[in-house]
Amino acid sequence: MRSVLECKQLCVDSKASKPTDGRGRYEAGQRRCNTCGVFFDTANMHCQCCGTKLRTKPRSKAGKERLAAVHSRSDTTAAEAAAPNPAETKTVSAPEPKRGAKAPGSKPQKSRSGAAATAAAAATAATAATAAKPATTVSATRGPNLGGMDWGLANRMASIIRPEDNRALMLAVDHGYFLGPTERLEEPDRVIAPLLEYCDSLMLTRGVQRTSVPPTTRTPMVLRVSGGSSIIGEDLSQEDVTVSIQDAIRLNASALALSIFVGSKYEYQTIANLGRLVGQAQEYGIPVLAVTAVGKELGKDARYLSLACRIAAEQGAHIVKTYYCEDFEKVTGSCPVPIIVAGGKKIPERDALELTYNSIRGGAVGVDMGRNIWQSDHPVAMIRAVRSIVHGTNDADRAYGMYLDLAKSG
Ligand code: 5RP
């Protein structure tokens, strides 16, 4: 019997807005689901809500001819521009529906502020006002060179930085490795469970992975393998590699994460650790994510972060995690591997969404965000809003409107 495809209402926050630059929806690359009756900004062949094959062309002959004429014009322009790597100039695409099918609401945690409710009306207005903006053009996002990698390494990299759009949303929950029971991460299993389906990968320690993540998950694990110091100890930069490659393999790690402390007392030790780790991990096809740690004494400007990121890449790191800063393009522009941006300490949701948007505009592949998601009063709403920027077309205003709407209904 033929199965009947039906809209499960999962498409609600993934609908694409109508282009306002005079182009038709199909001209702008949108695809239509006839079952859900909506357009998406997506490269997917099938609707993520109901599974129907998406329509890429208008039904009418006249519409098809108009579209063909537009394509032939843009093919000529593209050939003239001759961009060597499509990943280098990219239009933000496809508001990404969550992974999996169920749509749990956000479980409210201890109330931090009542400002969200008062801001809701203003944000809805802002959402309407900004919905008319055309998609943002982002340049110089450096994706991984999968073609130059062995199969296992390329496959693991592709599970972290999604090849469809060259973007990554990593959820960081590794803070306990030097902070102990961080505020609102006291019970990692309860924090992680509702967020798991919305992130592309999870960054964590082996202790949290074994105790707090169901082994049935399909979400890739980015395993922190460095540590050794605590927030109350003498020097946070005194880190070593604390997990063997065998244990990382047992844990089915998709990548290993290690911090380097450039300019600190333990600079040499941490950078040499990175070099050795890359050598070992490479043998087993496991990518390494280097975290450029910052601290009281370590800078957070483009000069320092460019230095730290480049050193990490020179040691062979496959991805570098760093902080957003002014002139961020200088950091991404001088680092030959993909950069992912850490969220940093908790700031208002609107600001964290702006940080996400600016990071991607500045050439990052995405964010590795922790506190700004699970320290929010509405973690699920927040991760979905972040996701709508990383994998979608939302700017910070629209994502904030989405956050407020989801927070209200969740
Ligand atoms: C700590 C880390 C964290 O994973 C990183 O800082 C991301 O989390 P947050 O967004 O909370 O800053 O690597 O060294």
Q: Is the pLDDT of residue 230 over 60?
A: yes
Looking at the chain, the domain(s) classified CATH 3.20.20.70 span 115-409
Which DSSP string do the residues of 140-187 spell out, in sequence order? ------GGGS-HHHHHHHHHHSBTTTTBEEEEE--THHHHSS-TT-SS
Q: Which residue is catalytic, options 321, 330, 345, 408?
A: 321
Q: Is 321 a catalytic residue?
A: yes
Residue 342 Cβ < 6 Å to ligand 1:
yes
Higher pLDDT, 107 or 366: 366
Q: Dmax over Cα atoms in the chain, in whole Å?
A: 73
Rounded CA gap, 376 and 108, in Å?
9
Atom of ligand 1 at shortest distance to CA of 367? 10
What whole-number percentage of the chain has pLDDT above 90?
62
Yes or no: is domain 115-409 CATH 3.30.465.10? no
Q: Is the pLDDT of residue 286 over 70?
A: yes
DSSP code for 47:
-
Residue 184 Cβ < 6 Å to ligand 1:
no
| Protein residue closest via CA to atom 12 of ligand 1 | 344
Q: What is the pLDDT of residues 302-328, one digit of tens each?
A: 999 999 999 999 999 999 999 999 999
Q: What is the pLDDT of residues 114-170, one digit of tens each?
A: 333 333 333 333 333 333 333 344 446 888 989 889 999 999 999 999 999 999 999
Ligand 1 mutation target, pool 169, 203, 368, 373, most atoms within 8 A of CB: 368
Q: Is the pLDDT of residue 104 over 70?
A: no
Q: Give the model's confidence band at 110: pLDDT under 50 very low, under 70 low, under 90 confident, else very high.
A: very low
- pLDDT for residue 82: 27
Rounded CA gap, 346 and 323, in Å?
14
| Protein residue closest via CA to atom 4 of ligand 1 | 172
Q: What is the pLDDT of residues 34-90, one digit of tens each?
A: 877 888 775 555 556 556 666 878 887 766 666 665 444 333 333 322 222 333 333
pTM of the model: 0.70
